[in-house]
Structure 1
């Protein structure tokens, strides 16, 4: 059995954290009937983007500049996700409707909400989607995870060895 170098394990770990976050959201939605708002599904998209960036960096190892760009995009996307989670918590969750916010317009205009409704369907207003998990709002859990991913992504970049 071969083992991955530490930097590869870190990228795989980040990607798996992101896939895990989306799976928890889907279980919450489809098993526990916690309907997502536009900002919820927008954050799912960012988690999936980060996973693709991590695995893209691993796939592009032979092309160092491309691999580096994928790696550099990981913490940037995570910071964007943290901003989305903060906005959901601080602003959108106090609004009666998420209609016409950036997340709503993006998800609708991209066609993802209609094309993959089980994953990206907007089913609640931001106010209605304000729910807790273990006494902490989902948006705060997401914010914390995005910040952890950003730190891990920066750590990976700092420990990256040129080949």
Structure 2
């Protein structure tokens, strides 16, 4: 197994673990998600799927670089979403009609998979600390790690 394949598997597993932690937080510890929270879950899942499709379908080399570039962009979008949640949305009484809310509702994912993508809290109510650090900052840091690992895949030579 090549280094790029291992990196892609690692990125995918980290993303799935992040969603798993979010689901445990929601369903076990009653930390209800806001629209920006579930949008970030979607980004993590898409990154994992892109990584695994890249490993299973695409050939190493150019195929893995395409995956690396795609996941780098998605990771940076995740950083932006988490940053917006932390700096703007968390200060609002409601995140209704923000991009995240409109996107998740328009996609139908919130109604189709409410246990995963249901929006049950306002952004202000969803401000939760984990070991003294807000969830949004943990997510932003994890997206930064994903983006860094994706950049390694992108620039790695065969």
TM-score (norm 2): 0.96
Q: Which residue of 2 aligns with 1:82?
A: 79
How far 1:62 sits from its partner (Å)? 3.1
Which of these residues, 24, 31, 34, is aligned with residue 27 of structure 1?
24
Q: Which residue of 2 aligns with 1:48?
A: 45
Consecutive aligned runs of 4 or more in structure 1 exceeding 6 Å deviation:
none
Q: Which residue of 1 aligns with 2:33?
A: 36
Q: Which residue of 2 aligns with 1:17?
A: 14
RMSD of aligned Cα (Å): 1.3
How far 1:59 sits from its partner (Å)? 1.8
Q: Is 1:56–1:67's contact at 8 Å kept on the other side of the alignment?
A: no
Matched, 1:7 2:11: no
Change (3 A) 1:126 1:148: same
Matched, 1:145 2:142: yes
Gaps of 5+ in 1: none
Q: Which residue of 2 aligns with 1:92?
A: 89
How far 1:23 sits from its partner (Å)? 0.1
Q: Distance in 2 between matches of 1:64 and 1:11?
A: 13
Matched, 1:113 2:110: yes
Q: How many residues align?
A: 158
Q: Distance in 2 between matches of 1:160 and 1:64?
A: 7
